[in-house]
Structure 1
Amino acid sequence: MPPKIKVSREQVLDTAFEMTREEGFEALTARKLASRLGSSTQPIFRAYENMETLKEDLYYKSVDFFSGEMLKSVGSGEPAYLSMGMSYIELAVGERHLFGLVASIEEHKGEEIHEFLQRGDGRELLEELPDAGDLTPEQKRELFSMVWMFTHGVATQVTSGIVKLGDKQIREMLSRAYNGFLSTLK
């Protein structure tokens, strides 16, 4: 009978996620992860072929974490683009290391924003865009995508320390960007 697996794939991923939150993925090594798990590196490489496949799962877990947190902000009384945008920027600042992983999109085949907008939550968000009632579904997707790209840019700038902005300034910028993008589509 083979030995009982003491460290599951889920435990490896969860521990790697916590370590990435604390130190960043660059600092994550198989040895450090094994030490945190209280095991050798063997269970890690039994669960994952290599550290790159672990990084891919970490990326998706981080994206799910960000998405879940942002969707919690919807319904706060603010327009969805503003509440989600502020939540994303706050998460980027508060979860700097996870944001670094999420922002490394070019390394992953992550879900495109238009794919997110096709799902249930995304479709509902499109229907709640202020002053966009007369836009076609395609124009609404384009509007959301433009606002999302702008928001990601602000998050990147704020997180990197290139610009220093307060919440009030960021809210104003997101609102102006939304209204500016909206005016180009009407």
Structure 2
Amino acid sequence: MPAKKQITKEMILDAALQILMEHGIKAVNVKSVAAKLHCSTQPIYLSFDNMDALRQELVPAAVDKFTELMRQECGAEPVHLYGIEYVRFARQQPELFCFLFMRPQAFSEMKHVLCPIIEQSVTVLMEQYYIDHDAADELYDQLWIHAHGIATMITTKYCDWDMDKAERMLDRCQKALTKGYEA
């Protein structure tokens, strides 16, 4: 008789992330994770005190997946949250996007965990427009909020804009917002 496979915490988080990406956070529960792993619920309860603990550890796993997908989308370009890549991500991964960026009070949490990406982009804006950190950070937030609005409208199917229109809108917004900074 073959030995039973050992279910690890990482396997549980991976299964939960897959469920999240396919069906949304409401579908992530002990039974669905156990079914995905083809095991009983016992390994999940042994690895996590409760579902809140599992969901809390799901946030960094989801951020890692987001970062991985954004790096693939951006290629050689640096990852930032105000470009068409962010909107494409939202369209391609609506459940993951909603989990990361549309939860109540998620803005400050996501701004904190995505700090390396944000700071890199703020530095680029500082150099590009010869502005100080505070001004570049505010400009970054304005650009991100505009991209986020478009991404949210597309993800929630509020509108059915194509990517060409979204890209034109982002480009025009960036030009308008940065006009005052150009030397």
| TM-score using structure 2 length | 0.81
Report if aligned partners of 2:48, 2:54 keep a CA contact under 8 Å in 1: yes
Name structure 2 gaps, 5 residues minimum: none
The sequence identity of aligned pairs, in percent, is: 25
SS of alignment partner, residue 76 of structure 2: coil
Does 2:98 correspond to 1:100? yes
What amino acid sits opposite 1:160 in the alignment?
T
Q: Deviations over 1:41-95 (max 9, x none)?
A: 111011111112211222221122212322340634xx8658x621211111111
Listed as ranges, the matches of 1:2-41 within 5 Å are 6-41=6-41
What corresponds to 1:90 in structure 2?
A: 88
Q: Deviations over 1:95-131 (max 9, x none)?
A: 11111211244255864536744x3x44432333398
**Relative to 1, partners in 2 of residues 1:80 and 1:27: Cα closer, same or farther, differing over 3 Å?**
closer
The one of 133, 146, 156 aligned to 1:150: 146
What amino acid sits opposite 1:52 in the alignment?
D
RMSD value, Cα = 2.9
Query: Aligned residue pairs: how many?
Result: 178
- Between the aligned partners of 1:45 and 1:111, the Cα distance in structure 2 is 27
**Relative to 1, partners in 2 of residues 1:68 and 1:12: Cα closer, same or farther, differing over 3 Å?**
same
| TM-score using structure 1 length | 0.80
Report if aligned partners of 1:30, 1:51 keep a CA contact under 8 Å in 2: yes
Runs of 4+ in 1 over 6 A off after TM superposition: none
Report if aligned partners of 2:80, 2:118 keep a CA contact under 8 Å in 1: no
Q: Deviations over 1:136-183 (max 9, x none)?
A: 122111111111111111111011111121222111111122122223
Name structure 1 gaps, 5 residues minimum: none
- Between the aligned partners of 1:152 and 1:99, the Cα distance in structure 2 is 10
SS of alignment partner, residue 129 of structure 2: coil
What corresponds to 1:75 in structure 2?
A: 76
More off after superposition, 89-98 vs 99-108? 99-108
- Between the aligned partners of 2:110 and 2:96, the Cα distance in structure 1 is 18
Q: Deviations over 1:4-24 (max 9, x none)?
A: 992111010001111111221
What corresponds to 1:45 in structure 2?
A: 45
SS of alignment partner, residue 129 of structure 1: helix
The one of 167, 170, 179 aligned to 1:171: 167
